[in-house]
Amino acid sequence: LDEETSGVMVYALCQKAHKDLTRQFEKRLIKKTYLCLAHGAATFDETIVTAPLGADPQNRIKVTANGLDARSAETRFVRESVAACGRFSLLRAYPRTGRTHQIRAHAAQIGHPLVGDLLYGGQKEHDAFDGRKPRICLHAESLALTHPSTGLPITFSAPPPPDIIELMTLLMSTKVSSFA
C-alpha cells in the first residue's frame, strides 16, 4: 500500500504461503476493494479505466498513462454517492492489476483526483478540515483470496479508520459508517 493508504494487507508467514499468494496476485485471482473520496461529482454509475501506467518522464515519483516502461493497468470505479454540494464523490475502486499508484493515477485520469493527493491533482481542503492536513483519502477495504493452507476462499476486511470516516462524513455531509 502507498504510505498514506490505510486498510487491509496480506502477509505470508512461511515460504509456501508466500509462493501461493504471489501466484494468486500474478494470476489476478485476488479481488481488491478500495474506498476513496474524490474531487468532483462523478456522473458515471460505473466506469473502467484501462490505461498502461509507467514512470512520468517529468516526475519519476509519479506514474502516468503510457509513461516510461508502461505496463497494463485496469481499474473499475463505482460511484457510491455524490456530496450534496457537488464537489466530492465517494467511490469504490476495484483494481484488476496492482501497479504503483494505480488507483490514484486512474482516478486523476478520469477527472476525479483523490482528496488530499497533491501528486495527482487532489487539493488539500484545509478550510474544510479546520486547518488539519488530510492524508490521501484511499482505504483498502477488503482482499478476497484463496487461503494458501486450506484452499478455502477467505476475505479480509477493515473498516475505514476514524480520520477517514470523519473526513468523508464532513465532506459528504452524510454518515459514511454504512459504507464500512
Residues whose CB is less than 8 angstroms from the CB of residue 156 and which lie 6 or more positions away in sequence, other chains included: 8, 10, 142, 143
Q: What cell was used for 101? A: 499508484
Q: Is the distance from CB of 85 to CB of 1 less than 8 angstroms?
A: no
- Pairing mode, if any, of strands 31-39 and 46-50? unpaired
Q: Is the distance from CB of 94 to CB of 75 less than 8 angstroms?
A: yes
Q: What cell was used for 83? A: 456530496
Output the furthest CA–CA distance in the chain (Å, rounded). 50
CA pair distance 47, 73, nearest whole angstrom: 14
Assess whether 2 carries a catalytic annotation.
Answer: yes
Q: What cell was used for 86? A: 457537488
User: Residue 145 — φ and ψ, nearest 5°?
Assistant: -150, 180
Q: Tell me which of 2, 45, 69, 163 is the catalytic residue.
A: 2
Which residues have a catalytic role annotated?
Answer: 2
